[in-house]
Amino acid sequence: MQFFRLLKYAGKYKKYLILCPLVMIGEVVMEMLLPMLTATLIDEVIPQSAETGNLSRVLLYGGLMLLMSVISMGFGMAGSRFSALGGMGFSRNLRQAIFEKVQKYSFKNIDKFSTASLVTRLTTDVNQTQMVVMMLVRMAVRSPIMMVMAVVMAYRMNPTMMPILLVAAPILLVCIIVIMSKAFPRFQIMMKKYDALNASVQENLIGIRVVKAFVRAAHEKEKFEASADDVTATQRAAEKIVIWNGPIMSILMNACVIAALWLGGNQIIGGHMQMGALSSFITYMMQILMSLMMLSFLFVSFVMARASITRICEVLDEEVDIKNPENAVTEVKDGSIVFENVGFSYAGDKENLVLENVNLTIHSGETIGIIGGTGSAKSTLVSLIPRLYDVTLGKVLVGGRDVREYDMHALRDQVAMVLQKNVLFSGSIKDNLRWGNENATDEEIVAACQASAADDFIRSFPEQYDMDLGQGGVNVSGGQKQRLCIARALLKKPKIIIFDDATSAVDTATDARIREALRSHMPQTTKLIIAQRITSVMDADRIMVLDDGKIMDFGTHDELMNRCEIYKEVYTSQQKGVA
């Protein structure tokens, strides 16, 4: 069972998860003895004491019952404390384990799960599982014991009335199961409609300018109304079933009471039973039905949490495909890059390669431009260098060694990459830049920002380098964000730096300034620049033209202008009107 596997993560909090059901047993035992003592008090002690006029036995019983209530309260309070400690401790460890696992993921693993789904697993799914655990430790032992004890007690009170329960209990169970199994799928439909509704709100928020520009508010309102009515209709369809729960429970309980009064009444008249016993029997009977109901709810919430549990296990079970080698090399000699017969496919499928038979040699310190249309596998090619993915065929060498021989941190520290979809994190500008080098001095940070043409705009902010970027860096524009990301990478002082379309939102003049700074400040560093704009790569030492996963040509601007059709086509189309 996946659930019990997850329970192992409770770790040092396991003791609370065990203690909790134990004290719950204490509570329930005390609680179950009370009606029995009441019955004895009324049926036996009253007649005796009334004769003798001596209240000492009454007080003794009363005192005992009070004591039991107090003990029961103590147990109950301890139970809630233990369940809180155990449940929260469990969820803490589980979250930690998931997060730790995700940190070990390779890009391939991350591709498999979407960001949103990983977040859901870490938040909602862990919460769901924690709720179930807390409910289980409190109820899973308590309810069955309550039921068993109530059955025993009721039997002791009067075995001949047990058939009432034998009829009522199965009916109750069947009803609950039918209701739940009918309602559950309907709630799932409702949730889907609800998600769709929220998605349409989101869509309107993102596209509000389009809605307004096309004067389509009325149209959107109409669409939303249909969607909202859909949610309401499915919600009603589901709740229509659930509202049967209460009345059915009432019918059964009341029918049991009347049956007990009739059967028990006959026995009282016959002198085989006393009134106190009858009243206590009814109490026990109610408790049995209640605990049955509790158990079925427990079962339902367990079933509902199963989806969450499965999703969590998927993350934990995911095989991490890129691991550090044994006896890893920690020193990257220089910034040379060699591809030997490299083939690559995201799915690892040798028949269906995204990159095919790539051979190339780049010398340390060279500036290489890479250009090609959408889907030509430019990003794929460069992501093999810091070993974000492993090659399917052939090998990639950095500093003369296969990238798979390096310690991953050592390799990635020397191969800096500015990603196409880059992100900044909340915190100050300085905090973000220090990602590149934790111990960077203020001077180094400023120097990196000057090189990436970020210093000017940073200084225009009131708090300058201490300005808070907000979640995801929302407080800066697209072009500014890209320049900060470049500065962050420069601070690593890497042997190889890769720009994956990293200046697309930066204006061309600034773009040129950045490239000039790179050339003069980092002559030793190998620079790979992927771009759409030909001006961004024109002045590179060599330019690689990619098409459909193959290197079409590799040479200087002038060479390519002479011999490469694709390059010429791109160049003329972009320079049109300049003449």
Does 92 bind another protein (CB under 8 A)? Our answer is yes
- Looking at residue 551, the DSSP 8-state letter turns out to be E
Q: Which is nearer to another protein, 1 or 509 (CB)?
A: 509
- Closest separation between CB of residue 211 and another protein, Å? 7
Residues 495-514 close enough to bind another protein by CB under 8 A: 501, 504-505, 507-509, 512
Count residues near another protein (CB under 8 A): 164
Does 122 bind another protein (CB under 8 A)? Our answer is yes
Q: Which is nearer to another protein, 399 or 479 (CB)?
A: 479
* 132 touches 302 (CB < 8 A): yes
Of the candidate residues 5, 15, 18, 70, the single one contacting another protein (CB under 8 A): 70
Classify 547 as helix, strand or coil. Answer: strand
Does 225 bind another protein (CB under 8 A)? Our answer is yes
User: Which uninterrupted H or E stretch holds 360?
Assistant: strand 355-362
Extract the tokens encoding 432.
């973000």
Does 257 bind another protein (CB under 8 A)? Our answer is yes
Of the candidate residues 6, 17, 21, 87, the single one contacting another protein (CB under 8 A): 87
Q: Which is nearer to another protein, 127 or 357 (CB)?
A: 127
Does 455 bind another protein (CB under 8 A)? Our answer is no
Cα–Cα dist 183/244, whole Å: 11
Cα–Cα dist 345/108, whole Å: 11
Residues 397-426 close enough to bind another protein by CB under 8 A: 408-409, 412-413, 416-417, 419, 421-426
Give residue 274's region: left, alpha or beta (phi > 0; psi -120 to 50): beta
Residues 18-37 close enough to bind another protein by CB under 8 A: 27, 31, 34
Sheet with 526-530, strands from edge to edge, namely 415-418, 496-500, 526-530, 367-371, 542-547, 550-555
Residues 267-296 close enough to bind another protein by CB under 8 A: 268-271, 275-276, 278-279, 283
Residues 39-68 close enough to bind another protein by CB under 8 A: 41-42, 45-46, 49-50, 53, 55, 58-59, 62, 65-66
Classify 397 as helix, strand or coil. Answer: strand
- Closest separation between CB of residue 312 and another protein, Å? 14
Does the CA dihedral 536-539-540-543 come out positive or negative? positive
- Closest separation between CB of residue 341 and another protein, Å? 26
- Closest separation between CB of residue 208 and another protein, Å? 5
Cα–Cα dist 201/216, whole Å: 14
Does 318 bind another protein (CB under 8 A)? Our answer is no
150, 269, 293 from 27: Cα distances, Å: 14, 36, 19
- Looking at residue 506, the DSSP 8-state letter turns out to be S
From 177, 166, 174, select the one nearest 285 (Cα to Cα): 166
Q: Which is nearer to another protein, 85 or 329 (CB)?
A: 85
Does 178 bind another protein (CB under 8 A)? Our answer is no
Does 139 bind another protein (CB under 8 A)? Our answer is no
Spatial CB neighbours of 354, under 8 Å, sequence gap ≥ 6? 344, 345, 346, 377, 380, 549
Spatial CB neighbours of 214, under 8 Å, sequence gap ≥ 6? none
Phi, psi of 4, deg, nearest 5: -70, -30
- Closest separation between CB of residue 304 and another protein, Å? 7
From 281, 300, 279, select the one nearest 289 (Cα to Cα): 281
Does 468 bind another protein (CB under 8 A)? Our answer is no
Q: Which is nearer to another protein, 393 or 419 (CB)?
A: 419
Of the candidate residues 26, 533, 550, 561, the single one contacting another protein (CB under 8 A): 533
Of the candidate residues 171, 177, 217, 320, the single one contacting another protein (CB under 8 A): 217
- Closest separation between CB of residue 438 and another protein, Å? 8
Of the candidate residues 11, 170, 400, 472, the single one contacting another protein (CB under 8 A): 472
Does 576 bind another protein (CB under 8 A)? Our answer is yes
Question: In 412-489, which ranges are E strands?
Answer: 415-418
Of the candidate residues 56, 374, 439, 520, the single one contacting another protein (CB under 8 A): 374
- Closest separation between CB of residue 171 and another protein, Å? 15
Does 250 bind another protein (CB under 8 A)? Our answer is yes
A 10 A CB-CB count for 184 gives 15
Of the candidate residues 56, 103, 327, 520, the single one contacting another protein (CB under 8 A): 103
Does 577 bind another protein (CB under 8 A)? Our answer is yes
Does 330 bind another protein (CB under 8 A)? Our answer is no
Does 118 bind another protein (CB under 8 A)? Our answer is yes
* 277 touches 158 (CB < 8 A): yes
Stretch that binds another protein, among 1-9, 149-157, 254-262, 445-453 (CB under 8 A): 254-262
- Looking at residue 340, the DSSP 8-state letter turns out to be E
Classify 319 as helix, strand or coil. Answer: coil
Stretch that binds another protein, among 161-169, 251-259, 347-355, 442-450 (CB under 8 A): 251-259
182, 236, 287, 394, 414 from 243: Cα distances, Å: 12, 10, 22, 64, 64
A 10 A CB-CB count for 213 gives 9
